[in-house]
Structure 1
Amino acid sequence: MTAPTPQRNPWLVLLVFFGMVAVVAVVAGLAATSATEVYHRLAQPSWAAPPSLFGPVWTVLYVLIALAGWTYWRTDGETQGFAAYGIGLLLNLLWTPLFFAGGSSRLALVDIVLLDFTVLMTVGLFYRRSKLGAVLLLPYLVWLFYATALNVAIVALNDVR
């Protein structure tokens, strides 16, 4: 007789997902200490969001990202989905330091385009097992497309690295 597989506490796993996403948020926050100053210094398109919008939007998005990962986990999600999710978190973590702390909107643009494709792939992988997990990532994907367009405009309007 084999021993039953121990079940992980789903609420503890939810905390792990929130913890992973919180690390990304904290790194972004630390790298964005001069974000308002940098953002105002750059020429921007007329449709650029005010800096005060980014914090609340990202707070909601980070909650949705954590919930999406947890929802996918609850379906015994496949390794590919988790790999794409993790790569997406890493690319997300890199964007703010590249753009604000590193001062390289061009490298940040490369990063966010890779992030767009990664999140799009993650949505597709999640959808196979957890439609809810995929749907929870859609606001994030829409915001990323907006942020990518903004990053493109900033590169085009400014003589930046």
Structure 2
Amino acid sequence: MQLSVALPRQLRGSSPAAAMQLSTLRNVSASLGPKSCATASGLKPSRTRRERNATRVAMAGWFLRRAGLNERNAILPFGRGQSAVSLLAFLVLSAAVASTGIIFKPGVWYRGLKKPAWTPPNRAFPIVWSILYILIAISGWLVWRQQGLSWPFLIFAAQLVANLLWSWLFFGRRRPDLAFADIVVLWILVAANIAAFAPISATAAWLLVPYLVWVSVAVALNLSVWRLNRDRGVFA
């Protein structure tokens, strides 16, 4: 049995790591005949395209385990969300979180609050956040491609929830005190998210760094606005 039959073409030569895995798999497969490969992996001959694809994935996993490699971290193209559809899903998720900024707008109430002199101009916020939400989506997608759904996405989801809550707390409830507590938690979660993504994809981790920087600015701004206005009776 040739390895090119057992594995899809996307696995070949995509990176030095993939080349090393492919070489190892070829060595393993060379020592086994077609019949023994199918028997050892517990597979039966299949005729439909779907069955053949399933067979190839199962055979690839069996070869990786036989070669002492980690199947979960191998570069397998099936079930890892490597298509444009999965990227679109992450973009939609980010857009859903961003929608709270549209629902709960600053409005007249925010414009009447005292702010520090270094406050960024209002027009900067939607531009910066739009870029950041795109980077967040790409970051999550890169990790999804590399490892699929895994524990770092618990942190990823948690920071998105904290992000979503901030606009509601600050502009919706008009509670900068609660919003400040939320954004501090958000900062911690983003930092943890970077640390969790880094071993899987350095690119994904770096894409979240501008997010952390901007949240740091938001923490300072939230605190300043709260302190400058807490004795004016403008908060709920």
Q: TM-score range by the shorter chain?
A: over 0.9
Superposition TM-score, scaled by structure 1 size? 0.92
Calculate percent identity across the aligned residue pairs: 36
What one-letter code is carried by the residue in structure 1 that aligns with 2:133? Y
SS for the counterpart of 1:79 is coil
Q: Is the 8 A contact 2:82 2:145 kept in 1?
A: no
Superposition CA RMSD, Å: 1.6
| 1:93-145 alpha-carbon deviations (Å, 9 max, x no partner) | 11001100110101100110000000000000000110000000000100000
Paired residue for 1:20? Answer: 93
Q: How far did residue 27 of structure 1 move?
A: 2.1
Distance change >3 Å, CA 135–CA 87, structure 1 → 2: same
* 4+ aligned runs moved over 4 Å, structure 1: none
1:136 corresponding residue in structure 2? 207
| Gaps in structure 2 of 5+ consecutive residues | 1-42, 45-53, 59-77
Which has the higher Rg, Structure 1 or Structure 2? 2
Q: Look up the equivalent residue of 1:135 and give its one-letter code.
A: W
Letter in 2 for 1:16: A
CA distance in 1, matches of 2:109, 2:211: 23
CA contact under 8 A between 2:139 and 2:207: conserved in structure 1?
Answer: yes
Point out which structure has higher relative CO (alpha carbons under 8 A, 6+ apart): 1
Structure-2-length-normalised TM-score? 0.64
Structure in which a larger fraction of residues adopt helix: 1
Q: Which amino acid aligns with 2:176?
A: S
For 1:77 and 1:114, locate their aligned partners in 2 and report how far apart those are by CA, in whole Å.
26
Contact 1:71–1:130 (CA<8 Å) still a contact in 2?
A: yes
What stretches of structure 1 of length at least 5 have no aligned partner? Answer: none
Count of aligned pairs between the two proteins: 159
